[in-house]
Amino acid sequence: MIQLESVSKRYGSKTIIHDISFTVAKGEIVGFLGPNGAGKTTTMRVIAGATTPTSGRVTVAGFDMATQNEQAARRLGYLPENPPLYDVLDVTTYLRFVAKVKGVPGSAMRAELDRVVYACRLEAVVTREIYKLSKGYRQRVGLAQALLGNPDVLLLDEPTAGLDPGQIQETREVIRAFGEHGAVLLSTHILPEVTLICKRVAIINGGRLLAIDSPVGLQQASERTNSVILEAGAEAEPLRQELLAVQGVTGVSVTALPGDLVRAECQVEAGSGVEARIARVIATRWSLHRLERQQPTLENVFLRYVTQSTRADRREAA
């Protein structure tokens, strides 16, 4: 339903997206993760046809966005980071206007408006002017306009931003229900959201696609995020050598801390017991101030990918 083939986007001499390729299938929700400025919104705009790629090909529901933009747009619902609302209109008038633009026939208009109003829990504000709405309600009106016309594809850029916990749960249910028959690309900073509703996760940083897999697959593929963090009263190099000799430790990085302490991050194998072996080694020679095992959660997988990518970009720039 969504296919990007070697897509790049440049503004002048600055490349925002670097040779990105991925797909989103029917019946699939894909989470799009990355820090601010990673290229998520630009990628969304390219898929939506709001801007054209400098190179590469984008298809939506089988239609090429370069040559069949209108046919693709009819099958696509898009919620940008800032919802495209007309503040002077009331909610019903605005949604009716969007429905007409999307080609919803008059005979189906009432039922279609009722469907999205109910799905997005807007019953209490349908006669209210949009400029009077809270940020949470504005976000929900933006989601309602994306759902109008029964699109095959949804592009959602931070859809739960500004919502309270109850509204977030309701919005997730709407997205999950749509994802049973349509295709959803969901940009978010909320990692629990990805694990709850997304089948796959795409991680982007610096305009480059770093990884794409299921949340479980990313965790299993990133053994390096299995680590033990410790702080000890020791000299850096002797400590590093002792830790490297511990069974199950595959790598060690050591940094100095104030007060004659050092911090060591040990990359370890997935088995149990390695932290006990590390603690015994430290206790024979030095004072141990902290020891913590970090499991490969989606959050630290994401942070590791982004950190490694950022370091690589800095090395290239240097």
Considering only residues 225 and 179, tell me which one the structure prediction assigns the higher pLDDT. Answer: 179
- Looking at the fold, whether 130 and 33 belong to one and the same domain comes out as yes
pLDDT tens-digit series, residues 173-205: 999 999 999 999 999 877 778 888 999 999 999
Q: Are residues 124 and 76 part of one domain?
A: yes
The enclosing domain of 31 has a CATH number of: 3.40.50.300
Residue 275's CATH number: 3.30.70.1570
Name the residue with tokens 């619902």.
Answer: 77
Are residue 54 and residue 196 in the same domain, yes or no? Answer: yes
My answer on whether 176 and 264 are in the same domain is no
Question: How distant, in Å, are the alpha carbons of 18, 28, 102, 184, 186 from that of 181?
Answer: 31, 8, 20, 10, 15
* Confidence (pTM): 0.78
What confidence tens digit (pLDDT) does each residue in 132-187 have? 999 889 999 999 999 999 999 999 999 988 788 888 888 999 999 999 999 999 99
Tell whether 315 is covered by a domain: no
Tens-place pLDDT, residues 88-122:
999 999 999 999 999 999 999 999 999 999 999 99
Q: Indicate if the pLDDT at residue 221 is higher than 70.
A: no
Query: Where in the sequence is the domain holding 153, given as residue range(s)?
Result: 2-220
Residue 318 domain-assigned (yes or no) = no
Distance CA 53, CA 192 (A): 31
Total count of domains within the chain: 2
3-state secondary structure of 62: coil
